[in-house]
Structures are given as structure tokens and as C-alpha cells.
Amino acid sequence: MPNQTKALTQINDVLFKLKKANFNCSTVEKKQYNYETTAVKNNQKIKVQVYFGKKGVKTVLQGNNLSAEYQEIQSIVNGNILMDFKVDNQLQKNYDEYIGTDETGKGDYFGPLVVAAMFVNKDIQEELLELDVRDSKELTDYKIDGIAKKIKKKFPKNFSVIVIEPEKYNKLYEKFKNVNHLLNWAHSKVVENVFKLNPTSTIITDQFSKKDLELASEKEFEEVNFIKLPRGEQYIGVAAASILARHEMNNWFNHQQQQGFNVLKGASNQVTDAALNIYERFGSDEFKNLVKLHFKTTLKILQ
């Protein structure tokens, strides 16, 4: 049976079970790569998408994964889903209002460290779902850039992004002597920026260390609940921050490539080869403005 036919059969089976469980469901729509329907119960809206491709069929849910309705649909699908928002069993609570933060670039030899924060309330969370916001690792760069532009246009006073370009990053690393200390400073800064216009009682940060954010001890934040957790993108505000950060990272790489530099993401052997080529062609000054010097890759190149 072709995968497209399997996907259609699967979503129709799910649709039948959802209706039996008293979900109000839209008509199944066929998209370019998937079939989808939207299920609604108790004002919770969850999109069910069944993708088909060469590698097989997979089902994806989009919605508030901390809600009872999402968990019910997950059970109905019998676990055959790729979760967009991973649930942390220690944190089943959802928050109507909070600031979420995330970063990108920490593991990339080329490029900046980018940290972003996004304020959300209940209405904004619903609007972000409509924009297809989810864990950025599940999205293509093209999709990330499109969603980020919509977020920035729709919520101009709700976010802050700090792009620490390699030249500044290297100076800050010399000062902090530790990536986590540098991250702490940057996360604290974006939270402070957003908090000025959107004071809230909860800050959720994708965990990069066990240490509290620097500003947690400041008087202004005495009554704020700071939450750190792995896979923080389970919260849509953190997922939105992740998308905003990745968008700025994409912009940097695109700009450098337009300038003629063959910069690559990650820290693979291919990245090392590209960095060595840049060092030999353009010299140490240009090289230092493109990479994070404390990586072991630098030693390989200089040797």
C-alpha cells in the first residue's frame, strides 16, 4: 500500500475515534505532504497531521501538549506520534502568562550566539499556535524565517533578541571564561528587556545550567518564579523564542555566504575544513571575526 494511502487510512481512523470521544473535528484536508484535521474540545484546539513520504508515515500533533485534551488525543493515536512539544513529567503545569527564553549557536564553531525571549499570555499562545509555532528543531530554515517574521510583525513589543557576533563573543568569553556564565548573562539581558514592557510572575528558560539566572536575585524579580527545564520548547513561549533566535542565526549565515565566506553550521570535519580554507585565504583577522575561538577546532587549524 503506498504511503499516501496509508496516511489517508490512518487519519480517517483517528478522525472516527476523535468524534467518538466527543471532539468536534474539521473535514480532513489534503496538503502537499500530509493529511490534517483540527480537533476541538473544551476550547482546546489540537491539529492532527499525518505525513507521508519516502521514509513512511508519521503523525504530528500541534497544540497545548499540557492540556488534558492533547493527552487524550495522544492516547487515541496510541503513541504513534512525533511530539512537537515534549512533555516533561516533572512539570505538568501550564502557565497562562510567562516569558520564555532560548538560545542557539552554542555548539556552532562559525557564527554568533543568539539568545531570545518572548512574552506570552493565553491569547498570544493561541495566536502562536495558529502561526504553526513549535520546537524549531522540527522546522526547516525556510519555515523558521517565515514564522519569525510573522511573530516580529504581530508582537513587536513582546520579544527581545541578542545577537552576540563572534568578535564580541570572543571578548565576552575571555571575560567570563565559561560558556554557561556567558549564557546566564545573555538570558538575563533578554528577560530584562522584555520584562520592562511585559512584567510577569513566571520566567521559563530552556535549561543550559543548574545555576539561576543572574537577575533572579535582584529586587525587581523577588516575586518571580524562575523555571529551568530540559526541552523547554514544550512551552510555546520558549518555542517562539527558539524560532526568533534561529531566524537571526540564519540571517547571519546567509549574509556571510553572500560576502563569499563558506561558513557552515555545526562543528564537524567539514566545518573544520571550511574554517581552515577561510584562514588560509583571508588571514587571521577575518577568521577571528567568524568563529568562536575557544573551540578545540581553533587549535587544529593553527597547528
Q: How many domains does the chain have?
A: 3
Is residue 88, in this structure, part of any structural domain at all? no
Q: Does the pLDDT of residue 195 top 70, yes or no?
A: yes
What is the percent of the chain with per-residue pLDDT over 70, rounded to a whole number?
Answer: 94
**What CATH code is carried by the domain that includes residue 130?**
3.30.420.10
**Do 103 and 239 share a domain, yes or no?**
yes
The pLDDT, as a whole number, for residue 82 is: 30
**Do 168 and 27 share a domain, yes or no?**
no
Residues 146, 174 contacting (CB under 8 angstroms): no
pLDDT tens per residue, range 125-162:
999 988 989 888 878 899 999 999 999 999 999 999 99
Domain carrying residue 214: 98-254
pTM of the model: 0.71
Cell 512539570, residue?
91
**Do 68 and 103 share a domain, yes or no?**
no
Q: What is the end-to-end Cα distance of the chain in Å, rounded?
A: 56
Q: Does the pLDDT of residue 217 top 60, yes or no?
A: yes
Q: In what order do the strands lie in the sheet with 225-229?
A: 159-164, 113-120, 98-104, 202-206, 225-229
Coil, strand or helix: which one is 208? coil
**Do 114 and 229 share a domain, yes or no?**
yes
Local confidence band at 7 (pLDDT 50, 70, 90 cut-offs): confident
Q: Does the pLDDT of residue 87 top 80, yes or no?
A: no
The C-alpha angle 21, 26, 27, rounded to 5 degrees, equals 115
Residues 38, 47 contacting (CB under 8 angstroms): yes
Packing angle of the helix pair 141-154, 236-258 (nearest 10 deg): 110
**Do 104 and 190 share a domain, yes or no?**
yes
**Of 216 and 229, which is predicted with more confidence?**
229
C-alpha dihedral over 208, 203, 185, 145, to 10 degrees?
A: 80
Residues 290, 277 contacting (CB under 8 angstroms): no
Q: What is the mean pLDDT of residues 213-217?
A: 75
pLDDT tens per residue, range 257-278:
999 999 999 988 999 999 999 9
Is residue 90, in this structure, part of any structural domain at all? no
Local confidence band at 99 (pLDDT 50, 70, 90 cut-offs): very high
Q: Does the pLDDT of residue 186 top 70, yes or no?
A: yes
Provide the CB-side half-sphere exposure for 174 (13 A, CA). Answer: 7
The residues pairing with 45 across neighbouring beta strands, listed in sequence order, are 40
**Do 240 and 179 share a domain, yes or no?**
yes
Is residue 92, in this structure, part of any structural domain at all? no
The pLDDT, as a whole number, for residue 232 is: 83
Is residue 64, in this structure, part of any structural domain at all? yes
The pLDDT, as a whole number, for residue 75 is: 79
**Do 113 and 75 share a domain, yes or no?**
no
Q: Does the pLDDT of residue 246 top 90, yes or no?
A: yes
Is residue 116, in this structure, part of any structural domain at all? yes
**Do 134 and 188 share a domain, yes or no?**
yes
pLDDT tens per residue, range 22-69:
889 999 999 888 899 999 998 889 999 998 877 788 888 888 877 788
Which of 83, 115, 135 terminates a domain? The answer is 83
**What CATH code is carried by the domain that includes residue 53?**
3.30.310
Give the DSSP H or E segment for 163.
strand 159-164
Q: Does the pLDDT of residue 214 top 80, yes or no?
A: no
**Do 201 and 166 share a domain, yes or no?**
yes
d(CA 24, CA 42): 10
Which of 22, 51, 83 terminates a domain? The answer is 83
Give the DSSP H or E segment for 20.
helix 3-20
**Do 168 and 55 share a domain, yes or no?**
no
Is residue 226, in this structure, part of any structural domain at all? yes
What is the percent of the chain with per-residue pLDDT over 90, rounded to a whole number?
Answer: 55
Surface-to-core class of residue 3, CB atoms within 10 Å of its CB (0-12 exposed, 13-18 middle, 19+ buried): middle
Is residue 235, in this structure, part of any structural domain at all? yes
**Do 102 and 244 share a domain, yes or no?**
yes
**Do 127 and 211 share a domain, yes or no?**
yes
Residues 128, 148 contacting (CB under 8 angstroms): no
Q: Which range has the top average pLDDT, 78-82, 88-92, 143-147?
A: 143-147
Local confidence band at 90 (pLDDT 50, 70, 90 cut-offs): very low
Is residue 93, in this structure, part of any structural domain at all? no
